[in-house]
Structure 1
Amino acid sequence: MTTTNLLELSGVHTHIGAYHILHGVNLAVPKGQLTMLLGRNGAGKTTTLRTIMGLWHASQGSVRFGSTDITAMHTPQIAELGIAYVPENMGIFSDLTVKENMLLAARAAKNADQMDDARLKWIFKLFPAVEKFWNHPAGKLSGGQKQMLAVSRAIVEPRELLIVDEPSKGLAPAIINNMIDAFSELKKSGVTILLVEQNINFAQRLGDTVAVMDNGAVVHSGSMAAFSADEALQQSLLGLAL
């Protein structure tokens, strides 16, 4: 069975000012799967995500989403194609309520009554805290609840690709388990997911495929199961064993 890639980066270089951050990144994200992007701090993972989203532009190489070349597109155009991005800082509007944060992301709705009720119910099932704190200021939520809101906001409209930067960072184990369940459900619903993650347990439990970055390039890619089973490879690429 051949796997179709929904997202492909080929020879991508990214410069930020005088700094050359990405050095020819080749990355494939298979359609319908969850791909883990791993690597030590400073390996270029976040820059890769920001380059995909057009927040920084590749100085060389190409980024393709399906049959569309998105390399030179601007972020709003890329989002319109069905790609959602949850950055590491989550981008929550603290002074707005949970409901207002969700409404801002639901571009088709002018008010809360126009939001897709069935979709909201599905999101509440994934993240009960979003429903529980619906009318509370988002700034008052815990770190885990904010992360749930950030992901909920990204999927309030149907998306083909969900890109999330370190979803488990700073979260308690119980919340991490909740996140793992939610991402599993999202994958079952047909969403393709690309996750940057430092929590190896999280990566092992969720990943179908894995790409490991070092010094601005992908140095290993393959199945997560094979990577999980090879302690010597983990040690050499990440400096630790799963």
Structure 2
Amino acid sequence: MSIAVMTATGAPQRAVGPAQPVASAQPLLQLQGVHTHIGAYHILHGVDLAVPQGELTMLLGRNGAGKTTTLRTIMGLWQASQGRITFAGRDITRLHTPHIAHLNIAYVPENMGIFADLTVKENMLLAARQARNVAQMDTARLEWIFKLFPAVEKFWNHPAGKLSGGQKQMLAVSRAIVEPRDLLIIDEPSKGLAPVMVNNMIDAFGQLKKSGVTLLLVEQNIHFAKQLGDSVAVMDNGRVVHAGSMAALAQDEALQRQLLGLAL
């Protein structure tokens, strides 16, 4: 089972109320010299990545650069064969996925990880680990999620498998934030979405960012990345080949072409 399991003023967190981004020079998540092998294949070749606390970090790169493998290695779905991964100062390199998730890290995989045969409500309840039934779910937090993603409320009693691609993506993110999280990791949240849905997702992630949650996103939609990213890391051939400010990369067309083969 995939782990898919955080606004403007008034967004709920530990207790519902206003939140501000946390400014910190220390990364909340850090990878140092991480290598990953999948069978006979050496996919990651010494990844160094720092995700600053309270910011939204974009992980960019061409197809096959190793972005998804990096996320899956962070979550323990694939084990690092060398190197170190730390979260909030704790070494999580050898932890199993359930233990990593219990550290308040949520992961939305590229395939979204929803249960098609269950209703939207049942999908949300499964992700709300502190609740045994819908009545025990955090009502204020649900109302906040419904404002971010109205389709989740609209199709509350519908089978998740009958939702559109964009609605499924909204449900996947909603499941990830149904409980407060310290780090949200999402693989290509805008993939396959119509432009209007992409804009809705940008608005929602902008609110999530304002709540102070730390986010790490893999993204191919450059408009999405430019609108939301604070910092950026660019991967190529299993390594991070550039790290810095997203705004600085967005203004440097020569560097964009060098790193990504295109101009933003």
Name the TM-score class by shorter chain.
over 0.9
Please give the residue correspondences for 1:76-225 in structure 2 after superposition, counting only pairs within 5 Å.
76-225=98-247
The one-letter code matched in structure 1 to 2:72 is R
Aligned residue-pair number: 242
- The TM-score, its normalising length taken from structure 2, stands at 0.91
Give me the whole-angstrom Cα distance separating, in 1, the residues matched to 2:251 and 2:210: 25
Question: For 1:15, what is the secondary structure of its paired residue?
Answer: strand
Give me the whole-angstrom Cα distance separating, in 2, the residues matched to 1:141 and 1:211: 33
Question: For 2:243, what is the secondary structure of its paired residue?
Answer: strand
Please give the residue correspondences for 1:37-56 in structure 2 after superposition, counting only pairs within 5 Å.
37-56=59-78
Question: For 1:156, what is the secondary structure of its paired residue?
Answer: coil
CA deviation digits over 1:114-163, x for unaligned, max 9? 00001100100100000000000000100000000000000101000000
The one-letter code matched in structure 2 to 1:98 is V
The one-letter code matched in structure 1 to 2:202 is I
Which residue number corresponds to residue 234 of structure 1? 256
Q: Is 1:62 aligned to residue 84 of structure 2?
A: yes
Give me the whole-angstrom Cα distance separating, in 1, the residues matched to 2:76 and 2:149: 29
Spell out structure 1 runs of 4+ moving beyond 3 A: none
The one-letter code matched in structure 2 to 1:145 is Q
Report the alpha carbon displacement of residue 67 of structure 1 after superposing the two structures with TM. Answer: 1.4
- CA RMSD across the alignment: 0.8
Report the alpha carbon displacement of residue 2 of structure 1 after superposing the two structures with TM. Answer: 5.6
- The TM-score, its normalising length taken from structure 1, stands at 0.99
Change (3 A) 1:63 1:129: same
CA deviation digits over 1:45-67, x for unaligned, max 9? 00000000000010000000011
The one-letter code matched in structure 1 to 2:138 is D
Question: For 2:179, what is the secondary structure of its paired residue?
Answer: coil
Question: For 2:192, what is the secondary structure of its paired residue?
Answer: coil
Q: Which runs of no fewer than 5 residues in structure 2 stay unpaired?
A: 1-22
Q: Which runs of no fewer than 5 residues in structure 1 stay unpaired?
A: none
Give me the whole-angstrom Cα distance separating, in 1, the residues matched to 2:215 and 2:151: 22
Note if contact 2:24-2:53 (Cα within 8 Å) is conserved in structure 1.
Answer: no
Which residue number corresponds to residue 40 of structure 2? 18
The one-letter code matched in structure 2 to 1:205 is Q
Q: What percent of counterpart residues are identical?
A: 80
